[in-house]
Amino acid sequence: MQLSQLKVIVTGGARGMGAHFAARLAEAGAQVVAADLDEVGLATLPAGIHRRVCNVGNEGECESLVQWAHAEMGGLNALINNAGIIRDGLVLKENRETGEITKFDTKTWNAVLDINLTGAFFMVREFAYMLATKGIRPGVIVNMSSVARHGNRGQSNYVATKAAIAANTVTWAREFAKYAIRVGAIAPGMVETPMTQGMNQKARDALVAAIPVGRIGVPEDLWLAAKFVLECDYFNGRTIDVDGGLIM
């Protein structure tokens, strides 16, 4: 589809990649709803972008968001499933001084699954249901996976969600084909966002040094991939790695 034809929801749209996607879509003539828990961040988005506070980990809020977006824009045909969080930690952590071993806690495990996986599922389900029941054709979903989906030390919860998103991109593409809804995914490597800016500096420097192109990514790099998925009607059920050649 042409970008100017899109009526799109961007979750996690208040900052980072989500805010960049929302702004670039609006520049291209799309109607955009940016959804996020961050009201302050939403208020800083360019004029013309619709804003909605939403916790994607809440089933009812996702349903309300999709219904509101459809009414607000006079239709709906695209979703960028971008909301996500990181809560890293080793499954077992040993204190270097005392030798005490502590376990990764279940609350932190569930927090990431609730947003990154269950929240993504809620949004996909409600979006697809809206298009299927309203007879809207065609539609497109862009999911956000990660290079970490292949496995990365200290990220058991994050890895689990991003691997599942990549796998379900295939599943959902097959299930929604009858409704003319395409589903693609983007797997970023290390990208300059508020999320990565909070990383331990030593770990950050080591990751950047491992990127063959010699730099950290920027949101525009990921926008080019999102734009391709949105516009290319022959792209479906696949994940695009945009990582500068990084292998974790």
Q: In the chain, where are the structural domains located?
A: 3-242
Q: What is the DSSP letter of 177?
A: G
pLDDT in tens, 125-134: 999 999 999 9
Closest CA to 88 of 164, 157, 190, 137: 157
For 93-112, write each residue's pLDDT tens digit: 999 999 999 999 999 999 99
CATH number of 3-242: 3.40.50.720
**Length, in residues, of the chain:** 248
13-21 mean pLDDT: 97
At position 69, the amino acid (one-letter code) is A
Instruction: Give the residue numbers marked as catalytic.
Output: 158
